[in-house]
Chain A
Amino acid sequence: MNFTLLSPSGFWNPLLWIAFLIIFAIIGYIIYARGNPGYKKNTEQVKPYLSGNAEPSKEEIMVRAGDIYWGFLEALKGYYDVLKTMHTGDMRDYILWYLGVGAIILFLLVGGV
């Protein structure tokens, strides 16, 4: 049975892939086994060195996707402060806005005169 797949863009053989996986796993284990076995698990010895400071919680140091827009939000802070107060989370307020703005548009288009 032929396991080799030849295509115009490349070559694929699952047996070869498994062979390489085993070889690199062995190399990885050899490197791992040469590490210092003297360290104690679940102590400070396995924590990162941060100039002697305690490791902050992941929540404190996590960079969120929204942080990418920090400069944008900071520059338009006045605008966003107004928007935030308008976003009450109450559906009745939103419907009121919808009706109010709709009425203004209708007034402008149809004319109130």
Chain B
Amino acid sequence: MTAVRANIQTSDTARERFLAGVVALNAEPSGYTTSQLNQLLSPSIPGFRLYGVDQQLTTWDLFVLWHFVAMQMPSSPTRPMRNLAHGGPIFLPWHRMYLLRLEQQLQRITGDPEAGLPYWDWTVDGGLPTDQQHASSLWGAAALGDARGDVVSGPLAAMRVRLVGYGTQLWSVAPRPLQRNAGTDTDVPGLPTAEDAKWVLEDGLGYDSAPWDVSSDGFRNRVEGWIDPRRVGQAGSPQMHNRVHVWVGGDMGPGSSPNDPLFYLNHCNVDRLWEAWLTRRGRAYSPGDGDEQVPSGQGRNDTMVTLLGDPLTPAQVLDASAWYGYDTTA
């Protein structure tokens, strides 16, 4: 069976199913405590440790842990911000695998084997005046809840954050509501626009290029959001995927950003853009066998960092049609 991924702002069914599913996963005991996880992971990840309070974690929390762990894993040679999930060619395939595993958990907990993760096409809200973007149909009690401050309205008011990034460490904290600061960062003028999406899908643009990092030009780095030469004088300012994280702020800022279901809506839209690129350019991935400076763990047939579900390689996720499809990639 194949899930269909729909726009959360136009599909009531997809939105309601997603909200119910994430709240249920956030409340479902995983069977693991923070101290047990330290015992499990310390042999294979030297130096890694959860800090804070010892408590039972939920299925949702395990996904937060997984993302944080992947972000700590080095890829040689060392480059700024490059790890085994970000800042290099692995960014898109790793997150495709990660979203797939959450989607499968949503299917299990909602009892709907065809439930698809919805996406947030933030380029639509990016077309609104900047002072109205945090008040679009995505927000409010009928949808994702409060855009600013503690999330105390809507279904997501029931969600609790238990693992938080604190600098470069992951801490277990007394459960608290989600927190956001959407549209309050003066350095980020607004969400990405439809023009930005056209630019990342520019004709003839390859997937990635040497040195395979945050300075590379290619579809991956444009959509991850580390470069945008159109914005002269704004070197390094967050674009596309990065900009959405920064624009929402709050729990979307640190490496524990999968606490907020918005993380999955953002990445599902990124994955949808990737699917559009794959459809146009063929199901290609680089670096390939003949390329130089290939970062470790980011090759086509390298096993990607996995804590939940079966591991996959980039090559295995280039065609996702057996798992899911999008209602539109336009």
Instruction: Decide whether A and B are members of one complex.
Output: no
